[in-house]
């Protein structure tokens, strides 16, 4: 990419660029840490036509770095207040605010086509991917950004010229196997996730609420049941036997969910003490009885409430509860005089905070019991999670955490710094000016370093060209390893389609199977599609989704489409696939371990054979490097760090196979054939995605996400 610095610098002083700045229509997505600084910098640079979209409301914790907001703004819309404040010091600016979700249908491709620039200041990966796809569909330039503490980045994405935001894998939130959380935690994050997602929901959440951990638990229990059934016939592996024994130990008589309900005539503190004895004494003693779990590690030690809180101290808890109610305390720790959030509590203090937090929920916020959800800005919820996780950590010999550290881990908080946001917003505007000036050859990706190499605070790189293996701006076929006999359509949609692929309103098509979401569906269609959700993939209409099936995934709102090859896989490792599946970006060139075939699998097997043959035909082409999703997310001081991706040589051109024309899998019903699903009543979006030219290059990007 040629550098033409003289053209860029001379363009800055031209009246033509100044006029473009005044008339350009700019879309700012996000009005938080970066968004506030960006709006200020834009109007100070001369931009006058701006629209800003943000769903969030202002919180007290925002005020130390989002300087457009004041204390009296707390609880109001970030987008609306930011627009009002900026227009207050720049009355000539036209700023339209939308307090809305960027994924709403009104923010479609036509909406994006109405802008000259799209500038992102978002705080989550899902929304970033959605905006990236709409910018590609509308052919509008996107300037992406993110900050984390002293670190920051600005990247430029131009369709057909540079890589898009999704050309390289991004780190996803870390998942933990349910068996580790329930039986063998060995890190502070394990006990915090257990306290937040398991114990908190069990005591205060909706009884019918289903989380990712519930899905994992069902898969694990099903596997353990299968292992127990086969034990008498052919025996089970050591790991399966251990898992089955641990499940049996943790599902004793007291596992009845009604045990965790408060009984008639039981005081709130008596109820809290009963929960304590169950969780930290009875449960731990049962796990200690599973000798196989502790062959290579020390067993946990049960703790008893009488040892931590003698009768005299427990009697004083009633007085503390009454004082908290009288004074309207919202925090159990502060009600006990524990005001230093950075100081770790003793085991006795953890027990006192836990009991008081449970009692305060039942006596002061009893209308929330049965419907509460964890909120990092809820002091009482954070008190409960901190105390509960620290007590569990003491059982397992894991280091306890302070209230401040536990809140950051439970809320996935990456602490932001105002000066970092200011620097990044300035860099965003510089790249926006280059785009408006037509100097596309000099746009740059810029990274802000905490410990700069060679005393250079900013690391500047040329944007990479588009990747032809990208599932969004290129054309690539994904492969999904999943147990089609146990996984349901509901879990496929929530875990793979919507979560991992960030699809907003999915349309799924495979042979005689069709599933749709979105506007325009009739009542009978919605009813029929809803009835499919509980069915396993293998039992879906049209022969089901089985080994070798090619599932076409489309999203009309994003103008996005991708093909997914189903690879039926049994016995997925919980450590490697805690979500119950493995999604890979390359077409598998070798068949999986042979499994029992039946008559329903023959057509799909032929499709896979054709794909393998196509790869073999390309074996004489030049080897190319493709990236595998082998990144590991590590935690250091609250900052997520993405390890450098590994590369391996792959023969052939993966995009060429994806571009090969695939025959239509729609078919007409034969005479007398039963209709197993509603007929399509709307035109389908063509799944084809344009292939763009790509060259090899190193990827040093680190995804840094602002916590606003």
Distance CA 82, CA 29 (A): 12
Q: 28, 135, 179, 510: which is the annotated catalytic residue?
A: 179
Contacts with 549 (C-beta within 8 Å, 6 or more apart), sequence order: 510, 511, 565, 566, 604, 607
CA–chain centroid gap for 10, Å, is 44
Smallest CA-to-CA distance from 53 within 97, 6, 87 is with: 97
546 appears as a binding residue in the annotation = no
The answer to whether residues 699 and 168 touch, using CB atoms and an 8 Å cutoff, is yes
Smallest CA-to-CA distance from 124 within 105, 101, 107, 142 is with: 101
164 appears as a binding residue in the annotation = yes
- The angle that helices 311-327 and 347-364 make with each other, rounded to 10 degrees, is 40
34 appears as a binding residue in the annotation = yes
* 179 among known catalytic residues: yes
35 appears as a binding residue in the annotation = yes
507 appears as a binding residue in the annotation = no
DSSP 168-223: S---------HHHHHT---SHHHHHHIIIIIIHHHHHS-TT---HHHHHHHHHHHH
30 appears as a binding residue in the annotation = yes
Q: Would you say the C-alpha torsion 467, 473, 476, 481 has a positive or negative sign?
A: positive
Contacts with 224 (C-beta within 8 Å, 6 or more apart), sequence order: 240, 243, 244, 247
31 appears as a binding residue in the annotation = yes
Smallest CA-to-CA distance from 626 within 583, 586, 584 is with: 586
- Chain length of the chain: 708
Count of Cβ atoms closer than 10 Å to residue 650 Cβ: 17
Contacts with 339 (C-beta within 8 Å, 6 or more apart), sequence order: 333
DSSP 27-53: EEE--SHHHHHHHHHHHHHT--EEEEE
Smallest CA-to-CA distance from 484 within 492, 475, 476, 496 is with: 492
127 appears as a binding residue in the annotation = yes
135 appears as a binding residue in the annotation = no
Question: The tokens 């881990």 sit on which residue?
Answer: 409
End-to-end CA distance of the chain: 35
The two three-digit tokens of residue 382, written as one number: 């954070």
The answer to whether residues 54 and 99 touch, using CB atoms and an 8 Å cutoff, is yes
Smallest CA-to-CA distance from 412 within 126, 121, 193, 184 is with: 193
Q: Is 76 exposed, middle or buried, given 0-12, 13-18 or 19+ CB atoms closer than 10 A?
A: middle
Distance CA 661, CA 610 (A): 12
DSSP 116-180: SEEEE--S-HHHHHHHHHHHHHHT--EEEEEEEBTEEEEEEE-TTTS--TTSS---------HHH
132 appears as a binding residue in the annotation = no
Distance CA 183, CA 311 (A): 31
Contacts with 453 (C-beta within 8 Å, 6 or more apart), sequence order: 459
The answer to whether residues 518 and 557 touch, using CB atoms and an 8 Å cutoff, is yes
DSSP 652-665: S-HHHHHHS-----
339 appears as a binding residue in the annotation = no
475 appears as a binding residue in the annotation = no
78 appears as a binding residue in the annotation = yes
Distance CA 665, CA 411 (A): 45
Distance CA 497, CA 219 (A): 19
158 appears as a binding residue in the annotation = no
128 appears as a binding residue in the annotation = yes
350 appears as a binding residue in the annotation = no
Q: Which residues are annotated as a binding site for ATP?
A: 30-35, 54, 62-65, 78, 123-128
Q: Which residues are annotated as a binding site for Zn(2+)?
A: 164, 167, 470, 473
Q: Which residues are annotated as a binding site?
A: 30-35, 54, 62-65, 78, 123-128, 164, 167, 470, 473
Positions annotated as catalytic residues are 179
């Amino acid at each position: 990419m040629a550098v033409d610095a003289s053209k860029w610098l001379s363009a800055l002083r031209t009246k033509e660029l100044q006029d473009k700045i005044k008339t350009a229509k700019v879309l700012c997505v996000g009005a938080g840490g970066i968004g506030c600084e960006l709006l200020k910098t834009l109007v100070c640079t001369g931009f006058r036509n701006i629209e800003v979209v943000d769903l969030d409301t202002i919180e007290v914790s925002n005020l130390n770095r989002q300087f457009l907001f004041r204390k009296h703004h707390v609880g109001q819309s970030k987008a609306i207040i930011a627009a009002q404040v900026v227009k207050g010091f720049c009355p000539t600016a036209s700023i339209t605010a939308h307090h809305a979700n960027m994924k709403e249908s009104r923010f479609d491709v036509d909406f994006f086509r109405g802008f000259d620039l799209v500038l992102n200041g978002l705080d989550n990966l899902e929304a970033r991917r959605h905006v990236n796809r709409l910018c590609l569909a509308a052919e509008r330039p996107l300037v992406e950004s993110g900050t984390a503490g002293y670190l920051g980045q600005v990247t430029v994405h131009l369709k057909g010229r540079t890589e898009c935001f999704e050309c390289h894998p991004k780190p996803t939130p870390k998942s933990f196997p349910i068996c580790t959380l329930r039986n063998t935690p060995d890190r502070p994050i394990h006990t915090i996730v257990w306290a937040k997602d398991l114990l908190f929901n069990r005591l205060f959440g909706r009884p019918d609420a289903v989380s990712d951990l519930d899905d994992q638990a069902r898969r694990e229990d099903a596997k353990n049941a299968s292992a127990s059934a086969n034990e008498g016939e052919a025996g089970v592996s050591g790991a399966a036997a251990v898992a089955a024994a641990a499940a049996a130990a943790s599902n004793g008589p007291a596992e009845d969910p009604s045990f965790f309900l408060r009984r008639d005539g039981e005081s709130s503190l008596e109820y809290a003490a009963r929960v304590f004895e169950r969780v930290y004494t009875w449960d731990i003693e049962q796990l200690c009885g599973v000798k196989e779990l502790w062959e290579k590690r020390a067993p946990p030690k049960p703790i008893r409430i009488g040892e931590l809180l003698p009768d005299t101290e427990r009697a004083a808890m009633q007085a503390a509860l009454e004082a908290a109610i009288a004074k309207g305390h919202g925090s159990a720790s502060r009600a006990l005089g524990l005001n230093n959030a950075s100081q770790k509590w003793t085991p006795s203090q953890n027990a006192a905070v836990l009991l008081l937090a449970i009692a305060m929920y039942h006596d002061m916020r009893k209308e929330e019991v049965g419907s509460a959800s964890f909120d990092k800005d809820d002091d009482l919820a954070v008190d409960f999670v901190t105390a509960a996780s620290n007590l569990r950590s003491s059982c397992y010999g894991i280091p306890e955490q302070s209230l401040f550290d536990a809140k950051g881990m439970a809320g996935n908080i990456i602490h932001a710094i105002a000066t970092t946001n200011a620097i990044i917003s300035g860099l965003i505007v510089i790249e926006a000016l280059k785009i408006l000036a037509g100097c596309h050859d000099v746009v740059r990706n810029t990274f802000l370093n905490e410990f700069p190499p060679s005393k250079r605070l900013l690391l500047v790189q040329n944007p990479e060209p588009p990747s032809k293996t990208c599932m969004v701006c290129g054309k690539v076929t994904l492969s999904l390893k999943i147990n089609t006999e146990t996984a349901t359509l509901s879990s496929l949609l929530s875990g793979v389609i919507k979560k991992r692929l960030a699809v907003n309103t999915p349309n799924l098509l495979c042979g005689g199977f069709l599933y749709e979401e979105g506007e325009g569906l009739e009542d009978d269609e919605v009813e029929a599609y809803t009835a499919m959700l509980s069915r396993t993939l293998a039992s879906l209409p049209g022969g089901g989704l089985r080994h070798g099936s090619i599932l076409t995934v489309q999203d009309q709102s994003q103008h996005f489409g991708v093909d997914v090859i189903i690879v039926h896989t049994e016995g997925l490792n919980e450590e490697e696939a805690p979500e119950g599946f493995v999604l890979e970006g390359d077409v598998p060139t070798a068949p999986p371990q042979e499994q029992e075939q039946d008559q329903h699998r023959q057509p799909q097997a032929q499709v896979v054979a054709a794909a393998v043959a196509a790869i073999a035909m390309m074996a004489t082409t030049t080897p190319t490097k493709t990236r595998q999703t082998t990144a590991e997310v590590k935690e250091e001081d609250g900052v997520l760090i993405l390890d450098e991706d590994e590369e391996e040589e792959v023969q052939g051109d993966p995009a060429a196979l994806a571009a090969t024309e695939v025959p239509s899998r729609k078919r007409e019903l034969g005479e007398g054939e039963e209709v197993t699903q509603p007929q399509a009543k709307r035109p389908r979006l063509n799944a084809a995605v344009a292939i763009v030219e790509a060259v090899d290059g190193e990827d040093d990007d680190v995804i840094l996400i602002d916590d606003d």
